[in-house]
Amino acid sequence: MSQNENAMAGAARKVKSVKTQVIVWVVALVLGALLGLIQSEGLQNLIDFIASVYTRLFQFVAVPTIALALMTTLSALGVQKNTGRIFGRTIIYTLLTTFAAAFVGLLLYKIIGPGNLPMDLVSGGAAEVPQNLSAMSYYDHFLSIVPNNVVQPFLSGNVLGILMVAAAVGLGLAFMPDSDNKHALVKVILGLRELLFTLIRALVWALPLGVVAFAAQLSAQVNAGVVVGSLGKYLAVVMGGNAIQFLIVLPLFLIARGLNPIHVLKKMSPAVMMAFFTKSSAATLPVTMQSAEDNLKVKPEVARFVLPICTTINMNGCAAFILVTSLFVMQNSGVELTLGTMITWVFISVLSAVGNAGVPMGCYFLTLSLMVGMNANIGVMGVILPLYAVIDMIETAENVWSDSCVCAMTNKDLSK
């Protein structure tokens, strides 16, 4: 068989593999949706158990993935000339896409114009706000990022703290004098990284079972019903902003860089879907990196540097949620929303989102702390809380889609 025939046969096998994966995922989604409609306590307990197992497994590999990916990339800083370019483009694309998401949210807020909620509804919502969070200050949030020992960030799953430790170790290795000890240490870290990626591939292979459980959970929640009432316009702003950012704004960024958004989304769909169900971009990171390297063919040095950073600072959905929700809460607290106030909160929401952790309900907690600092009526946050489960799913999927876009654009720029 000639070389061309071998290449064609390999391409055919890849196409068949992708089609098979799509079919398996669709079947898993449909099966999960049907199981979620069955009113059986025993079945729901089993579904919740399976979903929790998969979430824990991905959280388990996410922490070392973040650390090892950043360590190995920065440790090669002295021999790789592209590190500065990769970092620079990551920051630029992150800020551009995040500001775009915030401005889309602001524009929709002005167009749709959500009104004030009834006071009795707000008063009732105050009881739903987690009391241990209402006292959290914005300074406390950032202070929790700074580790006071090497182990603490890893035990608590503090993504930004892990990034700080990993960056310090990676940079330390980069600027260490060249020696046998340095080479031995780097070799061990590289070996651990390869072992980790082997485990990740095994988890992704077994993921359809987890998708069944995640889809069943979502189906059960939707079947239970959520009364939107007067929150309809607020929800329309949040959901509409996410949809515009996901389907229009981010694809336009890709097109501007000469990339096909449909192709990128197809290759990154396992990560986007995983983010939707887990509601955690940090837990989804292993799948995001595996999809970027194996499916999208992003250079490993790009994917393993860009994606861990984007997981913590590239929060498109979070920026839009913080902005829209803060404006809605302040409006219901009697604050006059002038154009200057709104523009100021665009910058506050972007900076806050950059410092947010990629964990479930992270945006909600951060917005709550901001509103407490503003002495706003946090009862509105309690009214929003029942809706946030669905909002969080969509936001996280958008965040990971944005991470994928930043990674793809950075990879394209460095391929020139």
Return d(Cα 368, Cα 217) in angstroms, integer: 26
pLDDT < 50: residue spans in the chain: 3-4, 7-8, 10-12, 14-15, 18, 124-129, 133-135, 225-229
**Both tokens assigned to 97:** 């896409």
69: exposed, middle or buried (C-beta count within 10 Å: 0-12, 13-18, 19+)?
Answer: buried
SS3 360: coil
Return d(Cα 247, Cα 83) in angstroms, integer: 30
Return d(Cα 364, Cα 368) in angstroms, integer: 6
Return d(Cα 50, Cα 210) in angstroms, integer: 7
Question: pTM of this prediction?
Answer: 0.67
- Tally of residues, the chain: 416
pLDDT at 124: 47
Check: CB of residue 303 under 8 Å from CB of residue 403. no
Q: Where do the structural domains in the chain lie, given as residue ranges?
A: 3-414
Check: CB of residue 97 under 8 Å from CB of residue 251. no
Other C-beta atoms within 10 Å of 257: how many?
Answer: 15
pLDDT at 253: 95
pLDDT at 244: 95
Q: What is the DSSP string of 219-256?
A: HHHHHH----GGGHHHHHHHHHHHHHIIIIIHHHHHHH
Please enumerate in sequence order all residues whose Cβ is within 8 A of that of 233, keeping only pairs 6 or more positions apart, or say none: 112, 113, 114, 115
Torsion of CA 124, 125, 126, 131, to 10 degrees: 130
Other C-beta atoms within 10 Å of 252: how many?
Answer: 11
Distance of CA 7 to the CA centre of its chain: 36
Residue 292 DSSP class:
I
pLDDT at 76: 64
In the chain, the largest separation of any two C-alpha atoms, in whole Å, equals: 77
Where does 176-315 have alpha helices with state H?
180-205, 207-224, 232-244, 250-256, 261-278, 281-290, 300-313
pLDDT at 312: 72
SS3 134: helix
Residue 386 DSSP class:
G
pLDDT at 119: 62
pLDDT at 406: 94
CATH 1.10.3860.10 fits 3-414, yes or no: yes
26: exposed, middle or buried (C-beta count within 10 Å: 0-12, 13-18, 19+)?
Answer: exposed
CA torsion sign for 149, 154, 159, 162 is positive
Check: CB of residue 282 under 8 Å from CB of residue 62. yes
